[in-house]
Structure formats: structure tokens, C-alpha cells
């Protein structure tokens, strides 16, 4: 009996074990392959929260960045070597040897109704050191449109200028005013370097400066000529600064760039609102029209101010006033009752004492007819600050 058991049971058991092993071979092979794949890769995976791309941040802000165009030539800076921790000296540093007379800088639209900021120094004459008021300042928008931009306020200490455009369908980005930036934070500079088109450069915050008058961010992001007035953003696409200047011997980026902190933008805008900007009619050139001329040309004693030219897309033009119209009064005040030419011009200038946004009823003489045209005043003329503190 034992012999029969030995000859039958043990061979059968061995065959069963062998069959189970054969059936489990694919699973064993899979386990072995997983075991071989366990060693750590040579390059560690990015840490959570570390941006692999700044695409979303750039696309969020880029539509609000514009190119500022004006006739101006920048010369080599005499104080490029005099670097100090003084923000006022940093703000006065000029980009060297540009020799460009157009598209000198960039700007950022910061409100839905068309306020934008750029750099103060692009308006400063290198020969005289005073602010230059170009006859024409335009802003080229992200979608290719070019619109007129009117300067409202300049601040030398923060190297900022506040401008206004009147155009529908514009993008904007609000300033990020918190001072929670740290040295080593990643940043991206946006602008139009040397008029080749809007572009971006990546860097870190190299240093932070603060005085009684301004805050400044130093970065190694490439800030080339044309970046002045453009945006400095963080990894989340928040506007943390306005590109100001580079410290350079060659005229190109050498890894020492500066941006005005975004908190200064809000201070500038608040100051402008609080200062009560005057009204802006948008009549760029007028001439005295005497009662004798009225009798000669129209057989009527028409007296007032003849409109020679209008600001394109300004309040008066949008309201329907034309070149050639004779302004005879406003808000029930007849210009014809005034006694001399100086009083006539003072009457028109007094419109600027009215607040921006107010409705003024302008009386005009056109084609032998009297018309009354309501005009919503825009923002008034620019002025220069030396500090907003």
C-alpha cells in the first residue's frame, strides 16, 4: 500500500506544484519589472507649486501691455556709473545709446476706462532734463490698434507717468499692491524691446529697495531698451511693478534692471483722483472770430471762437463739434457779451475748472444756424509732481 501511495501521490503532488508555478510566471514577471523600475530618476520631478510654464501668467497680462510712441531721442547717460541706493538717482538713470526717435517705451493699462502707466523718464529731454510734451503720443494696443494717449500726471520720484486713452474693448490688469515679494521670487518682464514686438523675459528678484518716496524692485530679468514702462509680473500673473531702467555700460541688458513697485501706481492714481482733475474739451486750436467778420461773412453779428482743429476722438469731436464751428457760448454764458479777445479765451479756459465727466452745453454757430451740443468733459491737462508723498 505504501508503495502504491509513493508511486501515485508524490508524482501527482509534484505535477500540481509545477503547474501552479507555470501559471504564475506572467505575474512573477510583472512583479519583477515593477521592482526594476523602482530606482529614482536622475532628474527629480518638479516640486508642487513650481511653475513649469509662465504661459498662463503671460497671457493674462500681455493684452494689457501697450507700446508708447512719441518723437524723442535718448542720449548716453552721464550718471550711468554713479550707482547708489538712492531711488531718485536710480530713477534718473537713462538707457544708454538708444538713438531711437519712436516707440521708446511700453505701458500697461490699469483700469477698464483707459488709464495707463508708463515710465516718466521717456518724456524727459536728455539735453535739458525737463519734461518734453510731444504733440502726439500714441499707444499701440495688443490687437494692433493705435490710439491717442493723453498725459495726465508725471511723478519724477517713482519714475511713473499716468496717461489716458479713450477706446472701447480694451484689456487691463490691476496693480498688485501688497509688498510680499522676496529676493529669489521668480518674475517675468513684459515689454516691446527695440520695437520688435511684445516679448517676455524671465528672472528673479535680486534686491528690494525702499525710501520715503518710492519702492523699487531689482531684477536680473532682461530689461532691454523699449521695456521701460512695461509690466513686471509674478508667477501668478499679478502686476507687481513697472519696468523702469537698466544699469548698463553697453546699452543692453546686463542683469541689473529696476522696476517701480506696483504700490506706487495706486498712490499715483489716487493722488490724481483726489487732486480733482479739470475738464477737457478736446479743442486743440481755436482763433478769435470778431463780430465784424460775422457781419462780413454771414450778415450777422456772430462773435466767438472759431474751431481750427480738434483732438482726434476727443470729447468735442465725439459729441459732434467740427472744425469751422464758431463757439458762441457755453452753459448759458454768451461769449459774445465779453468785451475783448483775452476774456474770450479765458471763457473757454474756464471750462477746465469744471470737473471731468461733467456735461457742458456748448453753443455753436454753423452754416448760419445756432446749435447747442452737450459735451461730456474728459480728463484735464497734465502736471508734474516731484513726489506723491
| Res 271: pLDDT | 82
pLDDT at 95: 35
> Is there a contact between 61 and 173 (Cβ–Cβ < 8 Å)?
yes
| End-to-end CA separation in angstroms for the chain | 112
Query: Given this model, what pLDDT does residue 132 score?
Result: 64
Q: Which of 119, 228, 244, 253 is catalytic?
A: 228
Equal CATH topology for 55-274 and 279-379: no
Would you say 114 and 148 are in contact if contact means Cβ atoms under 8 Å apart? no
DSSP labels, 284-325: EEEEEE-HHHHHHHHSS---EEEEEEE-TT-HHHHHT--TT-
159 is catalytic: yes
How many CB atoms lie under 10 A from the CB of residue 25? 9
Q: Whose CA is closest to 94, among 244, 256, 314, 307? A: 244
What pTM was estimated for this model as a whole? Answer: 0.60
CATH for 279-379?
2.30.42.10
Classify 55-274 by CATH class: mainly beta
10 Å CB burial of residue 69 (0-12, 13-18, 19+) is: buried
Whole-Å CA distances, 246 to 23, 87, 109, 142, 256: 72, 13, 22, 24, 6
Spatial contact of 362 and 347, defined as CB atoms under 8 Å apart: no
Domain ranges (residues) in the chain? 55-274, 279-379
> Could you confirm whether 206 is annotated as catalytic?
no
| Predicted pLDDT at 91 | 42
Are β-strands 65-69 and 105-109 bridged in parallel, bridged antiparallel, or unpaired? Answer: antiparallel
**pLDDT for the residue numbered 325:** 94
The active-site residue out of 155, 159, 220, 325 is: 159
- Identify whether 270 is a catalytic site residue: no
pLDDT by residue, tens only, the chain of 389 residues: 555 555 565 666 566 656 555 656 566 556 655 555 555 554 445 455 566 788 999 999 999 999 998 754 443 334 333 333 344 444 444 433 333 445 478 999 999 989 999 998 888 766 666 666 566 788 999 999 999 888 888 888 888 999 989 888 999 999 999 989 999 999 999 998 767 788 899 999 999 988 776 789 999 988 877 888 999 999 999 999 999 876 554 455 456 788 999 999 988 888 887 765 667 788 877 888 888 888 888 888 888 888 988 888 888 898 999 999 998 888 777 776 555 656 655 666 666 566 667 888 999 999 889 999 999 887 665 555 545 54
**Of these residues, 77, 106, 121, 155, which one is catalytic?**
121
Amino acid at each position: 500500500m505504501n508503495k502504491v501511495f509513493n508511486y501515485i501521490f508524490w508524482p501527482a503532488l509534484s505535477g500540481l506544484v509545477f503547474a501552479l508555478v507555470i501559471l504564475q510566471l506572467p505575474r512573477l514577471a510583472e512583479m519583477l519589472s515593477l521592482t526594476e523600475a523602482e530606482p529614482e530618476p536622475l532628474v527629480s520631478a518638479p516640486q508642487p507649486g513650481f511653475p513649469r510654464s509662465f504661459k498662463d501668467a503671460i497671457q493674462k497680462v500681455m493684452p494689457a501691455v501697450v507700446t508708447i510712441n512719441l518723437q524723442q531721442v535718448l542720449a548716453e547717460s552721464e550718471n550711468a556709473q554713479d550707482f547708489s541706493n538712492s531711488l531718485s538717482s536710480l530713477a534718473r538713470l537713462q538707457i544708454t545709446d538708444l538713438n531711437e526717435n519712436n516707440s521708446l517705451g511700453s505701458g500697461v493699462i490699469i483700469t477698464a476706462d483707459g488709464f495707463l502707466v508708463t515710465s516718466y523718464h521717456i518724456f524727459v529731454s536728455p539735453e535739458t532734463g525737463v519734461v518734453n510734451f510731444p504733440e502726439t503720443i500714441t499707444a499701440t494696443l495688443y490687437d494692433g490698434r493705435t490710439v491717442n494717449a493723453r498725459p495726465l500726471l508725471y511723478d519724477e520720484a517713482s519714475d511713473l507717468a499716468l496717461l489716458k486713452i479713450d477706446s472701447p474693448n480694451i484689456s487691463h490688469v490691476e496693480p498688485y499692491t501688497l509688498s510680499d515679494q522676496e529676493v529669489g521670487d521668480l518674475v517675468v518682464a513684459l515689454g516691446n524691446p527695440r520695437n520688435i514686438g511684445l516679448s517676455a523675459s524671465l528672472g528673479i528678484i535680486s534686491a528690494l529697495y525702499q525710501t520715503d518716496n518710492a519702492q523699487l524692485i531689482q531684477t536680473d530679468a532682461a530689461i532691454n531698451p523699449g521695456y521701460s514702462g512695461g509690466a513686471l509680473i509674478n508667477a501668478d500673473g499679478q502686476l507687481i511693478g513697472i519696468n523702469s531702467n537698466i544699469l548698463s555700460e553697453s546699452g543692453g541688458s546686463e542683469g541689473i534692471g529696476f522696476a517701480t513697485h506696483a504700490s506706487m501706481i495706486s498712490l499715483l492714481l489716487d493722488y490724481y483722483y483726489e487732486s480733482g482733475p479739470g475738464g477737457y474739451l478736446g479743442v486743440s486750436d481755436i482763433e478769435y472770430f470778431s463780430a465784424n467778420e460775422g457781419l462780413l461773412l454771414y450778415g450777422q453779428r456772430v462773435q466767438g471762437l472759431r474751431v481750427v482743429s480738434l483732438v482726434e476722438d476727443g470729447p468735442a469731436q465725439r459729441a459732434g463739434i467740427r472744425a469751422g464751428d464758431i463757439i458762441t457760448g457755453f452753459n448759458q454764458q454768451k461769449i459774445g457779451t465779453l468785451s475783448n479777445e483775452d476774456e474770450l479765451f479765458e471763457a473757454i479756459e474756464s471750462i477746465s475748472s469744471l470737473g471731468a465727466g461733467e456735461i457742458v452745453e456748448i453753443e455753436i454757430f454753423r452754416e448760419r444756424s445756432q446749435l447747442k451740443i452737450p459735451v461730456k468733459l474728459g480728463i484735464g491737462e497734465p502736471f508734474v509732481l516731484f513726489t506723491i508723498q
